[in-house]
Structure 1
Amino acid sequence: MTAGSDPVFSSKSRAEFGASPPPRDHRRLEWDEALERVVAGLVPTWLGEDLGYECDWTSISLVAAEARAELDVVARAGGVVAGLAAAGIVAAGVDPRLEWSRAAKDGDVVSRGAIVARLAGPTRSILTAERTVLNVLGRMSGVATATRRLVDAVAGTHCRIYDTRKTVPGWRLLDKYAARAGGGWTHRIGLYDAILIKDNHLAAMAAAGSDPAAAVRRARDFVARTFPAERAAATVVEIELDSLDQLPAVLEAGPDIVLLDNMPAERLAAGIAIRNRLRPEVILEASGGVSPDTVGAIAATGIDRVSSGWPTHASPWLDVALDWGTATRSA
């Protein structure tokens, strides 16, 4: 990529990124009525940051109440757009008279200068909604764009990119939806929808005299005894390991997924060989130190999946603007 040029992204749609997940995997997050309700519940808080308990005094003081306008939402950089439906809910929350029309769909690759949506209606209301609409689009499109960079970097392998719980508080579902729009896969939503035995769980177990394999067996038994049969059958049991010495015994305990944390490529390859020999049905996941520069080498080991918090905690926003220059307006 030359200086000042847009990055080049795969133009594949979300549906083309991999086949269906295995029978016991995390639920894939898609835009639906439940997510719409989540966004509608967040909008008053978002708008309250701008309006307090008052209003947009600048627009009221300068713009006639009867003025109307139609403005374009324009991408100022190339990337993957996400959050268009969420931004429309924001606009409606400001003023139900505002008309939000999408010129793209979530997951689309857009170039610099592309119009992704239009906002029409009372000018005062457009100006009031502007920053919150752009914040939602910029944040979600930034996450989607970063995720697509990882997805494109593992193209040609069977490796999938998964999100993590490293999300903005209050934005968990939106961050994870944006990662899906970028071609990623959904890891567990929270602590309630899967078993993931991490290092501090293992430390607590070790203090009580139990090893990682015992932790897997205990979790499996708990799920079987506690949950209804249908939920138990769908509940993922995953364990994080930082040493391959633990892997053979853990595999024999029967987890669905083993996460190999912060291991170099040669250790990952060794872990895959152990898995293939002992329990080839167990999924292996890699995490730690994942970036667009490193993920290709990680995927080349033959690992099944990579989880990364980089798109949701470190990626830049996509620059989007509400462009008055191409708008129509009337009094």
Structure 2
Amino acid sequence: MTHVLQIDFDIDSFVRATLAEDLGSGGDITSLSVIPADARFDGVMQSRDAITVAGLPIAEAFFRALDSNMTIEILVEEGTAVPAGSELMRLSGAARAMLTAERSALNTVQHLSGVATLARTYVDAIAGTGATLLDTRKTIPGLRQLEKYATRMGGATNHRMGLWDAAMIKDNHVAVAGSVEAAVGRAVAAKIENIIVEVDHIDQITPALNAGATHLLCDNMNNDQLHEAVALVGGRVPVEASGGVRLDSIRAIAETGVNFISVGRLTQSAPAADIGLDFAVA
């Protein structure tokens, strides 16, 4: 089973930096002093909860960085929903290497699988409505590519990857520019193709559309306002709902007819998945 992450992220550099942070200048003094150099372990990584899996190939990279000859079998495809007690990976190799890489590997898989699992719960909550779940830029600095990869594994769609791939005109931009029309007009003049405009009030929608907005983000509007916004836009551009979206409220929001719903908590507040690694002397 081949597992390659198709993401624009330097996994090798990430692994090196993460291990360097953990090892410092003294190395893994516990394993070096307690574990014989020739000792070998067999290990099984398994989920203790029902989760959606993400990040196993990165965990593999951590182990291989310290033991290139380690035998590793990934048992589950990325993005797969598995029940509690599922085996995710089997390993066999140098005991010191396995123990040293364990925490970094688990931290990564626990975090990314936690993000994927939370995304999946939100995606399932709006199934059949026609609305698409989006993530946001509320990511841990340096980990955006990985976290947005994890939301995709959970069935969500990526919003902007950064400040470079779409303009998003928010209230502070409007305040400095002077008006919605002025802000959007300047983005149009700059020949920006994708111009997302955040609107807080219904009366901002028509000026934004007339000025050239290609996507409307309705911020913290209630469901009645979202219904009105969707009707007013009439399909001319996509309509996105954002702000304070919860699992218990997202389906009603989706049923207003919006095209997208963005949820910052997918990456900002996802709890780590409960995943462990159990060892046995080979």
Q: Which amino acid is the alignment partner of residue 8 of structure 2?
A: A
CA distance in 2, matches of 1:33, 1:152: 24
Moved over 4 A (4+): none
Question: How many Å separate the matches in 1 of 2:266 and 2:180?
Answer: 30
- Are 1:263 and 2:221 matched, yes or no? yes
Instruction: Give the 3-state SS of the residue equivalent to 1:128 in structure 2.
Output: helix
User: Partner of 1:69 in structure 2?
Assistant: 41
Q: TM-score, length-normalised on structure 2?
A: 0.95
Partners of 1:186 and 1:99 lie apart in 2 by: 34
Provide the C-alpha distance between the structure 2 equivalents of 1:287 and 1:46, rounded to a whole number of angstroms: 34
Match of 1:221 among 189, 203, 216: 189
* TM-score normalized by the length of structure 1: 0.81
Residue in 2 aligned with 1:226? none
Structural mapping, 1:286-305, within 5 Å: 286-305=241-260
Find the residue that maps to 2:190 and give its secondary structure.
helix
Aligned residue number for residue 111 of structure 2? 139
Displacement, 1:249? Answer: 1.6
Identify the residue that residue 43 of structure 1 maps to in structure 2.
15
What is the correspondence of 1:181-200 to structure 2 with a 5 Å cutoff?
A: 181-200=153-172
Aligned residues: 279
8 Å CA contact 2:200, 2:218 repeated in 1: yes
Code of the aligned partner of 2:189: D
Letter in 2 for 1:129: A
Distance, in Å, in 1 between the alignment partners of 2:206 and 2:71 is 59
Deviations 1:78-105 (A, max 9, x none): 1101011121222222332333321001
After TM superposition, list the pairs within 5 Å mapping 1:49-88 onto structure 2: 49-88=21-60
Question: How far 1:162 sits from its partner (Å)?
Answer: 0.5
- Contact 1:80 1:107 (C-alpha < 8 Å) held by counterparts: yes
CA distance in structure 2 between the aligned counterparts of 1:268 and 1:162, rounded to whole angstroms = 17
Q: How does 1:110-189 map to 2 (within 5 A)?
A: 110-189=82-161
Unmatched runs of 5 consecutive residues or more in structure 1: 1-29, 224-231
**Offset of residue 169 of structure 1:** 1.0
Identity of paired residues, percent? 40
- Secondary structure in structure 1 of the residue aligned to 2:217: strand
CA contact under 8 A between 1:98 and 1:125: conserved in structure 2?
no
| Counterpart selection for 2:205 from 243, 247, 260 | 247
2:163 partner SS: coil
CA-to-aligned-CA distance 1:191-250 (integer Å, 9 cap, x gap): 1121111121111112xxxx2123222202202xxxxxxxx6xx4211111111111121
